[in-house]
Chains A and B, each alone.
Chain A
Amino acid sequence: MALLNTLDSKFFHQQIPYKPMGKYVHFITLRITESYPLFQTDGELNKARVRAGVNTGKTISRLSMFKRKQSTPERLVGRELLRKYDLVKPEECEYNVKFGMNNPDCIIYGFAIGDSGSEKSKVIVDTAFSITPFDESHENFTLNAPYESGTMSSKGEGDSKVGEVTSRINQQDHIRPQVFFPSIVTLRDPTEASFLYVFNNILRTRHYGAQTTRTGRVRNELLGVVFADGEIVSNLRWTQAIYDRLPEDLLTSLDPLDETLVREKAIDAIESLMTEEFIVHNDFIGEAFTPLLTEVKSLTSTEEGIMQILQQADQEAKEYAKAHIKAPKSK
């Protein structure tokens, strides 16, 4: 049963294949920070020193959003939905603890269990780089943990002395709002349901990075999808191509980039990069993408529509698990 009218069914498999079959769909997304997210390891924001543009030889430091820091929140959103609609019980499948091995999350995003085998992920995400340099894209904040009164000096709460100033302060670099991370999410061997499952996860995920904080809001703007028989251009090259297209004074200014402009240049850059690829590809980018995006959004925003996607994905995952992953040994 086809869920979409705007796409030809030739782009999809009828069932999940057990080995790679050379069908790829690439989600072209622009991730835009909307609060102050943190992508860090060991107390420092992740950054990479790379060339500024394809034509601009100079090197700059860019903020980077590691691949797994993008895919983990997205798969957690999908898992949340599967639980909400009773397709996965929390005790049957727990992320990185005990994988159920027969639900859409496990089959599409993969798992690895020492003695029960591993399923390779069909979703591949690459490290995304900020368009603007690190210096213009972060800010240093002082964090504190105030007393009940909202101040940093004690009024005698708990065991503290009156007038004592807390030492609970710290400093932390944060990524600014409106920093742009172009990112391509690749899904191998999609069925219609797995395509929609991943699509929906990207659309719905709102927070990335350190989860213990209340920051980290990021909006995903989908600019298009590309169906191909192979891999396409990298995030880094796309980011550099966008950099080349933006005026120098905007890139070095402290003001955030204008979203409409970035969008326009991002679409222009990806379209021109796609002409350099020598693989078979069908692009739905910019205006050509609008009907599909509208259809997907209308499908995922109703309970009936999302149920259809999840149930279909679940059924395919169950069939796949039955055929290719035998029931785990009972202990």
Chain B
Amino acid sequence: MTQIYRCQLELHDSLYFATREIGRLYETEPILHNYALCYALGFVDNPRYQTQVNPEEEYRYFCRHQVPQYKAHLTKLNEQKIYVTPARSLRHTAVLNTWKYADNRYHVEMQKTQKNIPSFGRAKEIAPESQFEFFVISEQAIQFPQWIRLGKWMSKAKLDVNTLENVQRHSNQTFTVSYPLNPLDVMFGHEVIQFDTINMPPVSLIRNVKLRGNSYRMSLRDGTVYLPANMTYQFQP
């Protein structure tokens, strides 16, 4: 039995990740990628959800290489039929912060930079008490943590989850999704007719999507919401 959870996040610290880098300015887009949410919710490599990965791709404290293993990690979620949608902001504000590396020497000589690693910069972060919303679609019942951590600085956020009742399934319909979606995850199962793009790595997202295919229809307090059915994590071959 497919369950759909409506999840709301409230930030309790400022959130930062680099959606865009403009010189020394690093900007955080107020949208949370669905890959990031899978990690933040603890769905990846977790015995509780039977998503353990091979030892070579395991999450470790020490990482020799900074290469993400999305395919190896998220394919396990497909097997368990757990899907997380990207999160949109319900309300948010941004703050600008300057950061720099600390140095504990008493005497520092200015040297010519040898490596192109920035030691200071400005980050546009999402302020505390901003709110986000996303959905989790799962075959099995999921127990969610109350507090999760997000972004580069591991900022704490509070998670509130509602299990949605009365979800209707429709097949082969044209419908519009106002929530952001991951285009790779919907384009193989649906005909995507119209969309706006949100540029962000590693996979740009789309919103205001008009598509044709199978869908879930949910009546929420603030109107009817459609979500594409059968979304799975897809990667280029």
The chain A residues found within 8 Å of chain B, CB to CB, are 17-20, 41-42, 46, 48-51, 66-68, 72, 76, 79, 94-97, 110, 114, 116-120, 122, 124, 126-127, 230-237, 277-279, 324-325
* Complex CA distance for A68 and B149, rounded to whole angstroms: 16
B interface majority secondary structure: loop
**Known contacts A117-B65, A126-B13; A18 and B145 CB within 8 A of each other:** no
A79 to B105, CA, bound (A): 12
**With the chains together, A46 CA to B117 CA distance in Å?**
26
Complex alpha-carbon distance, A19 and B46, angstroms: 11
Tell me which residues across on chain B come within 8 A of A278, comparing CB atoms.
146
Q: List 20 A-B contacts (CB under 8 A).
A: A18-B60, A19-B60, A20-B59, A46-B97, A68-B153, A76-B104, A95-B103, A96-B104, A116-B64, A117-B64, A118-B63, A120-B61, A120-B62, A122-B61, A127-B128, A231-B148, A234-B12, A237-B12, A279-B146, A324-B62
Residues of B contacting A97 in the complex (Cβ-Cβ under 8 angstroms): 103, 105
The 10 closest A-B pairs by CB, nearest first: A234-B12, A231-B147, A117-B64, A41-B98, A236-B12, A234-B156, A96-B101, A95-B104, A127-B13, A72-B102
| Set of chain B residues within 8 Å of A68, measured between Cβ atoms | 99, 153
Interface flag for B158 (CB, 8 Å): yes
Contacting A at CB under 8 A, from B104-135, are: 104-105, 115, 117, 127-129
Closest residue of chain B to A184 (Cβ to Cβ) is B156
Q: B12 contacts A126, CB within 8 Å?
A: yes
Least distance between A229 CB and chain B CB atoms (Å) = 10
Could you tell me how many residues of chain B have their Cβ less than 8 Å away from some Cβ of chain A? 37
0/1 interface trace, chain B 50-64, chain A, CB 8 Å (1 if under): 000000001111111
Q: Is the CB of B13 within 8 A of A236?
A: yes
A sample of 8 more A-B contacts (CB under 8 A), given A116-B64, A124-B149, is A46-B97, A48-B14, A76-B104, A94-B104, A117-B63, A230-B147, A236-B12, A237-B12
A158 to B98, CA, bound (A): 37
Given the complex, which residues of B lie within 8 Å of A117, measured CB to CB?
Answer: 62-65
Using Cβ atoms and an 8 Å threshold, which residues of chain A touch B62? 18, 117-120, 324-325
Query: Total number of A-B contacts with CB less than 8 angstroms?
Result: 105
| Residues of chain B with a CB closer than 8 A to A237's CB | 12, 158
Chain B hits for A124, CB < 8 A? 149, 154
Known: A230-B147, A231-B156. A18 touches B102 (CB 8 A): no
Contact partners of A94 in chain B: CB under 8 A: 104-105
Taking CB atoms, residues of chain B closer than 8 Å to A67 are 13, 153
Contacts of A234 in B (CB 8 A): 12-13, 147, 156, 158
B95: Cβ under 8 A from any A Cβ: yes
Contact check, A48 vs B149: say whether CB atoms are below 8 A apart: no
